[in-house]
Structure 1
């Protein structure tokens, strides 16, 4: 009689085991677990600057100072902030007196390059708001130390830092989390340059040739034609006068 509870427990367990096995079999029949989503492909900033246009000098300084690694790390970050890079064109570096950059220490040059990046992605549509909240922090430091002032006047965007006011001339790349914008000037913070470096003025664009209005062209042709007509008329009049004189002289000879 004492064995009955034990027998009953074994019987219940035997009935439950097939159900557990069947549920596991159904789970396996559903197929393998879905593969994890692939990691997002990050933009290679060095490759982008190398292929996008005249940014060789800027890329060279970024590589020399190690700032390219700082910018790339922020671009690859998963914090969702992104990165914005202001890339001066080669002509912007060529316009600066060579001694102004060559006399900088390694730390100063690194800080200068860090001033050309902001640790957040800013699309062009956000620059009007940036202008209202300027100065904006850069990788070099906070707004009051190494910040830049952004202005947006009727769509013309400028970035000011110390001795330089650079114009944003084009959007090189702008897809979250990376934005790269071209500048026509190198930013020159006063903390790095106590006095204004010598910078060649930005050359003015060549004036476009004045279009010739069709009416003016026709007027010119008409005036030229009128001159030619007068010349022909004078030649014809002179010929007639000579003919009359020759006739009169011939008549006089015959009468004699």
Structure 2
């Protein structure tokens, strides 16, 4: 009886060991799963415009009209991207103050939307854009010009020049403009420009700036008096020399 039990235990052990060996051979090899690629870092347009340079006025209007949210959403789209044309602060200063303040909220929003394309374009693509003009912005259209490496953006009453590349890495491009785009859809007539300040008078002796300076009249009177005194001294000296010459000549004749 004990022998049969031992034989049964041995058979069960052999069966268990054989099944374990088979399961180990049939087990699929372990394959390491690669770590997921990091999500692309989105460019924060508000931060970029704030730190890049003189684009404070443009950023102010983008924020006021909520267009910054539209642009940022498009900037996060890695398939299409965005191309922003940012007028410099000097471009806004060239406009009369009432040009933008007289616009309705919808008009101002459309004007800001008119300063970006809903697609990323690097600088090398602008020659093709010029050939395909007019091209669409978020609102209305513009004509792109390309000549000898100089890029222009023409919209209604404004012919702007692309001054520099602020940022250009897909899917976001930001380019600086020297003028604000002024589409005729918003401005039926040419907007009024800010008055150009008169140049300051060049400083110079005897000029108006010198004459208006404090104490100028006193200095002028003193200079005139000095000039008269010098003239008198010169005339007196001339008379003495002439008298001496006459005496010498007279003495020679008497001899």
TM range (shorter): 0.5 to 0.7
Q: CA deviation at 1:171?
A: 0.7
1:63-74 mapped onto 2 (5 Å cutoff): 63-74=63-74
2:77–2:171 CA contact under 8 A, matched in 1: no
Given candidates 163, 171, 188, the residue that maps to 2:165 is: 171
Q: 2:132 matched to which residue of 1?
A: 133
1:1-256 mapped onto 2 (5 Å cutoff): 18-24=21-27, 26-27=29-30, 32-78=32-78, 80-140=79-139, 146-200=140-194
Which residues of structure 2 form unaligned runs of 5+?
A: 1-14, 198-247, 249-254
Q: CA deviation at 1:20?
A: 4.1
Which residues of structure 1 form unaligned runs of 5+?
A: 1-11, 141-145, 204-248, 250-255
Distance 1:159 1:34, change over 3 A: same
Distance 1:155 1:200, change over 3 A: farther
What is the RMSD computed on CA atoms of the aligned residues? 2.9
Q: CA deviation at 1:43?
A: 1.1
Task: Number of aligned residue pairs: give it.
Answer: 191
Q: 2:202 matched to which residue of 1?
A: none
Q: 2:236 matched to which residue of 1?
A: none
Q: Quick one: distance in 1 between partners of 2:152 and 2:195?
A: 16
| Bigger Rg over Cα | 2
Q: Quick one: distance in 2 between partners of 1:92 and 1:60?
A: 14
Distance 1:18 1:68, change over 3 A: farther
Q: Quick one: distance in 2 between partners of 1:42 and 1:100?
A: 34
Q: Helix, strand or coil: the match of 1:148? A: strand
* TM-score (structure 2 length as normaliser): 0.67
Q: Quick one: distance in 2 between partners of 1:173 and 1:202?
A: 32
Q: Helix, strand or coil: the match of 2:184? A: coil
Q: CA deviation at 1:19?
A: 3.7
Q: Helix, strand or coil: the match of 2:71? A: helix
Q: CA deviation at 1:17?
A: 6.4
